[in-house]
Structure 1
Amino acid sequence: MDPRIRAAGQALATPSVYADEERLHQALGLLRRQAPVHWVDAPGYRPFWAVTRHADIMEIGRANRRFRNGPRPVLMPAAMERRAAAAEPGLRTLIHLDDPDHGPLRAVGADWFRTRALGDEVRGRIADIARRRVDRMAELRGACDIAVDVAHPFSLYSILSLLGLPDSDYRRILELTRRLRGSDPDAFLAAQAGLFRHFQAVATDRVSRPTEDLASYTAHARIDGERLSSGEAASFLVTIATAGHDTVASVVSGGLHALIDHPEQLDRLRDDPSVMPSAVNEMIRWVTPTKSFMRTATEDYDLREVTIRAGDAVLLSYASANRDESVYTDDPFRFDVTRSPNRHLSFGFGPHHCLGAALARMEIGAFFAELLPRLRRIELAGPPVLTAGTFVGGLRHLPVTYELNG
């Protein structure tokens, strides 16, 4: 095997590579061109197939009976996999589930997101949280870290509001979520258990004291006439709290970074707010906050003259699909707030398409709709710092200086 291709495959199992966008996209580009279905045997990880082309990832997404989420839904070191498998038995989030369990539980959330998440009340609350974060930028007098001071508080306070949780939960949920993204198995398991217990208590409380929020809706949801157990409800709420927080925060900070790097695109969006929907989609493509998911083949499957054997694990690289030259023929590495069509796979594809995709777009749009009319100037004040991680990631730090109106 060409040693360059071997190294490119192993890069996908190297957390630090994801903190170096140039290195990551060099590896992904080489794999797309020369080995789009590539066997990766990286030190410290169980082997897997890396799938890097947009069309192939969509094909596997459609074949959900032939490629299952369990038992290996995300890429992690083998030692952490073993520890996680023996950990909290009650925690089974949507990303761990396949049918017949996945569909009914997903339907519970889909109903709420369809009927309530994009209603005027929720939109108003999100807009108010966005306004408070931009007000906070004004209080910081022209210098802040967008990731730390703005993006993460905006996304997490938004999630807390949807769940009906007090702002006092912010620090605890933030810290537990951060520990989930680290490489320390003990910290990971402690954070996982802490989140599960926290939301199990929330779900139990909502059964006896119902309210008008997503946590209460989940606690009282039924499947085939039976109310969800506290463990099932807690697992669902953990999914919402963690996935909804990290991904939106990454796009808010990464999207602003892209606008700073492309001032003509910032001017275009500021001058014509009607392009906001396409701009949000382009930010989501550009950042790709969820870098990959894993699937496991249930039977032999041929893909691009390669046979994936039953039991083999497959990594679906969304970061690669969103830069696929065969899809983005006008230059996948050009940031364009008017890009259309934009068939990015940042929310996945198929039955496991992100449940909160429309809500995430609304939140991101609400933030920029609040910020841009008040923004007179913005510049980097230091080097941006990306998260080192193979699953979910974005900017850890984005130091900026700026001037605001009001």
Structure 2
Amino acid sequence: MDAVDAVYDPWSPEFVADPYPAYARLRAAGRAHWHGPTRQWLIPHYEDVSALLRDRRLGRTYTHRFTHEEFGRTAPDAAFEPFHTLNDHGLLDLEAADHTRIRRLVSKAFTPKTVENLAPTVRRLAADLVGGLVADGGGDLLARVAEPLPVAVIAEMLGIPAEDEERGRLRPWSAAICGMFELNPSEETARRAVRASVEFSDYLRELIARRRKSPGEDLISSLIAVEELTEQEMISTCVLLLNAGHEATVNTTVNGWWTLLREGVRPDPENLSTAVEELLRYDTPLQMFERWVLDDIELGGVTLPRGSEVALLFGSANRDPARFGPTADVLDLERADNPHITFGAGIHYCLGAPLARLELHAVFGELLRQAPGLKLAAEPVWKPGYVIRGFEELLVEV
């Protein structure tokens, strides 16, 4: 087995539980490492990850410049077309002029004012969810608080009526679609993603039709008012906001509280924003971000050839002592200089980052206020996924 393969094993439960020692070895060994099992170049250093996120010689897609054959790749299986149609029209997987156009149009609807207007709703939902957990003396923090909050917020933002049964399907749909972002997803994972893509798209198409006839104050009505977006672009944008925004909130909430409980520390409520940024850095919810090499790139004496794929290791970059100093592996809830890249950088910087921060601030604040004696009730088990890394559950007592 190759030395890199022995260090970096994203299918190993032990690696998923604690990838950080492996990251340190990768950083010490060089700037770019070929990993045979995933056929990717691993990029572990902060400076390189940050720079490559902004480098237009890399892309989330390559089809704006090459055919599959020209790029040395096989076209996606036609059976999975509904997933790819949904995914390929979203901001995260667009490049060049299409990305610029859609981000500009979406920004007209998803404004800072949109997030500001949601703040009272987010705080109310967080208080109610935490209150329910406290009233029961504890429970699963993941299922009772971390998951319901961002799903309820996105439902409110999109204007999904409370009586629509699809509200309860948002989380399962999102989980099924996000399964495709893991390494080498199985056929069954792909089938679940396709089914969720079809069902979610059909529901949003019907909701868009309702809003065309009777506009409201919701994001879908605002997207319709922009006029220049196609229906597919609106659908893909709504799904992306759910998937990207909710995964960051869920896993930062649960992983963050596990870290706090394990370390025996609590954030200062007066300095909560700084603590949230540190939790986002310390145990990054999205461990790795993939990009295609569109033109040859030299990195540390290694050529990353056109047609290859890079794995930008966010989890490693956010623990790099070259950027975060000798305490990079230490949880410092008062860390002032903290330019983590958890939300990405460059043109694909997370559009929903302000909303995720609002949700995290609200939920951590309410847990500190209502459950000051929060403690673990059982040792948690990690999910098998590595890219989006989190627990199966987090059982707590109050």
The structure 1 residue matched to 2:314, chosen from 309, 318, 328, is: 318
C-alpha distance in structure 2 between counterparts of 1:200 and 1:95, whole Å: 21
Q: Does the Cα contact within 8 Å between 1:145 and 1:400 map onto a contact in 2?
A: yes
How far 1:192 moved relative to its partner? 2.3
Give 1:252's aligned residue. Answer: 253
Q: 1:212 aligned to 2:217?
A: yes
Give the letter for the 1:293 counterpart. Answer: F
Give the letter for the 1:54 counterpart. Answer: Y
| Aligned residue runs from structure 1 range 5-404, under 5 A | 5-9=4-8, 11-12=9-10, 14=11, 16=13, 19-21=16-18, 24-42=19-37, 45=38, 47-64=39-56, 66-71=57-62, 82=77, 86-88=81-83, 90-91=85-86, 92-119=89-116, 121-140=117-136, 142-167=137-162, 168-182=165-179, 183=185, 184-222=189-227, 227-263=228-264, 265-266=265-266, 269=267, 272-402=268-398
Matched residue pairs, number? 377
Q: Does the Cα contact within 8 Å between 1:285 and 1:346 map onto a contact in 2?
A: yes
Give the letter for the 1:273 counterpart. Answer: P
C-alpha distance in structure 2 between counterparts of 1:359 and 1:152, whole Å: 15
Q: Does the Cα contact within 8 Å between 1:147 and 1:249 map onto a contact in 2?
A: yes
Q: Does the Cα contact within 8 Å between 1:200 and 1:233 map onto a contact in 2?
A: no
Cα deviations by residue, 1:291-350 (Å, 9 ceiling, x for unpaired): 222111221111111111112111111111111121121322211211111111100111
How far 1:18 moved relative to its partner? 5.8
C-alpha distance in structure 1 between counterparts of 2:3 and 2:178, whole Å: 28
C-alpha change, 1:83 and 1:150, in structure 2 (3 Å) is: farther
C-alpha distance in structure 2 between counterparts of 1:171 and 1:202, whole Å: 15
Cα deviations by residue, 1:215-273 (Å, 9 ceiling, x for unpaired): 21122224xxxx3221111011010111111211111112222221222x31xx2xx42
Q: Does the Cα contact within 8 Å between 1:18 and 1:389 map onto a contact in 2?
A: no
Deviation larger for 365-374 or 84-93: 84-93
Q: Does the Cα contact within 8 Å between 2:105 and 2:229 map onto a contact in 1?
A: no
C-alpha distance in structure 2 between counterparts of 1:279 and 1:395, whole Å: 21
Q: Does the Cα contact within 8 Å between 1:204 and 1:230 map onto a contact in 2?
A: no
C-alpha change, 1:8 and 1:192, in structure 2 (3 Å) is: farther
Identity rate, percent: 26
Cα deviations by residue, 1:59-110 (Å, 9 ceiling, x for unpaired): 111212x1111049xxxxx999646764446422112110110112112333
Give the letter for the 2:91 counterpart. Answer: L
Cα deviations by residue, 1:367-401 (Å, 9 ceiling, x for unpaired): 12222122231111111122222332322210111
Give the letter for the 1:133 counterpart. Answer: L
Q: Does the Cα contact within 8 Å between 1:18 and 1:387 map onto a contact in 2?
A: no
The secondary structure found in structure 2 opposite 1:385 is coil
Cα deviations by residue, 1:185-236 (Å, 9 ceiling, x for unpaired): 21122122222222222223222221101121122224xxxx3221111011
Q: Unpaired segments of 5 or more residues in structure 1?
A: 73-77
C-alpha distance in structure 1 between counterparts of 2:77 and 2:41, whole Å: 20
Q: Does the Cα contact within 8 Å between 2:269 and 2:368 map onto a contact in 1?
A: no
C-alpha distance in structure 1 between counterparts of 2:311 and 2:25, whole Å: 16
C-alpha distance in structure 2 between counterparts of 1:317 and 1:152, whole Å: 25
| Structural RMSD (CA) | 2.3
The two structures have a TM-score, normalised by structure 1, of: 0.87
Cα deviations by residue, 1:110-148 (Å, 9 ceiling, x for unpaired): 3344332332x31111111111111111232x1201011
C-alpha distance in structure 1 between counterparts of 2:21 and 2:55, whole Å: 29
Bigger fraction of residues in strand: 1
Q: Unpaired segments of 5 or more residues in structure 2?
A: 64-72, 180-184
Cα deviations by residue, 1:27-55 (Å, 9 ceiling, x for unpaired): 2221111033011110xx4x121111110
Give the letter for the 1:372 counterpart. Answer: L
